[in-house]
Amino acid sequence: MLRKVTATRYVAPLREGGSLPGLCEADDLGTYVVKFHGAGQGRRVLVAEVLAAHLAGALGLAVPELVVAAVDPVIGRGEPDEEVQDLLLRSPGENLGMDFLPGALSFDPAVDPVDPGWAARVLWFDAFVLNVDRSWRNPNSLWWGARPWLIDHGASLYFHHDWPRAAASTDRPLRHAEDHLLLRAAAPVTDVAGRCAAALSPDVLRAAVDEVPDGWLEDEPGFDSVEDLRSAYLDWFTARLAGPTWVSELARVQAEVPRG
């Protein structure tokens, strides 16, 4: 289960993302980048963050710690931006916090050291969770502590914005794979595909869906209970692992571009 903290101070908005996350201090003396359930796509973005981070960790990919951040909108009373004030008012209670990595720089594979096997695992992972948001334009990766970290997976698992059509996406190739940040730096994705799939065992998948707080899964249209929704995510992941086409298509795209 995710640790729970209470946000005690709203420090500053982070305007790089469309969801307007904010930098907050918490009662454990930590500082977190907080994504709010009242923003943009709502709670589904927070769900995607938790699921993707858990699966990335199972593949040995570094992600900052995630926490459940309890927010009282009063912490933003000193923030002059009305947009921020409105967002906090729409987001009382449990939100998602990501450990802030002070001094981190945007990861650049043209400058920072890249292990081809690691890059191939990231490529496979992003294709698995349908993450279209790790490109040269928007790396969503940080260099900190002499290693790369993966961040911002809210755009992943976009099928859950249209559950009636979710089954059609279980073998869907990664969109815009040719633009992926690590496509040219990665070893052949077929070299790691088997090990990556084996690492996402049924127990790992179950633990991932169980880690999402109940409150972010409640009242989803088309589902009678939170457990039914958890089962739907689990079924999608299981079907995704069983479908070979998306891996083959990713390998084809990778083979068409020069490495380096």
115-142 pLDDT, tens digit per residue, is: 999 999 999 999 999 999 999 999 999 9
Q: The domain containing residue 236 runs over which residues? A: 105-255
- Specify whether 44 is located in the same domain as 135: no
The pLDDT tens digits of the residues spanning 82-115 come to 999 999 999 999 999 999 999 999 999 999 999 9
Average pLDDT, the chain: 95
- Specify whether 112 is located in the same domain as 79: no
Task: Report which secondary-structure segment, H or E, holds 228.
Answer: helix 226-242
Task: Give CA separation, 247 vs 158, 182, 191, 258, in Å.
Answer: 18, 16, 11, 19
- Specify whether 179 is located in the same domain as 246: yes
Give domain status of residue 260, yes or no. no
- Specify whether 115 is located in the same domain as 90: no
Domain ends where: 64, 81, 99? 99
The 8-class DSSP code of residue 62 comes to -
- Specify whether 69 is located in the same domain as 162: no
Give domain status of residue 177, yes or no. yes
Give domain status of residue 25, yes or no. yes
CA-wise closest residue to 188 among 109, 259, 108:
259
- Specify whether 95 is located in the same domain as 163: no
CA-wise closest residue to 182 among 64, 45, 61, 18:
61
- Specify whether 87 is located in the same domain as 110: no
| 3-state secondary structure labels for all residues of 90-107 | CCCEEEEEEECCCCCEEC
| Whether the predicted pLDDT of 18 surpasses 90 | no
Per the structure, how many domains does the chain have?
Answer: 2
- Specify whether 13 is located in the same domain as 62: yes
Domain ends where: 54, 75, 99? 99
The pLDDT tens digits of the residues spanning 20-60 come to 899 999 999 999 999 999 998 899 999 999 999 999 999 99
Domain ends where: 99, 130, 148? 99
Cα separation, 104 vs 35, in Å, equals 19
8 Å CB contact between 10 and 24: yes
- Specify whether 112 is located in the same domain as 239: yes
Start-to-end CA distance of the chain, whole Å, equals: 40
- Specify whether 225 is located in the same domain as 161: yes
- Rounded to the nearest angstrom, the gap between the alpha carbon of residue 204 and the centroid of all alpha carbons in its chain is 16
Cα separation, 155 vs 171, in Å, equals 18
The pLDDT tens digits of the residues spanning 33-44 come to 999 999 988 999
Give domain status of residue 182, yes or no. yes
- Specify whether 123 is located in the same domain as 226: yes
- Specify whether 64 is located in the same domain as 132: no
Give domain status of residue 225, yes or no. yes
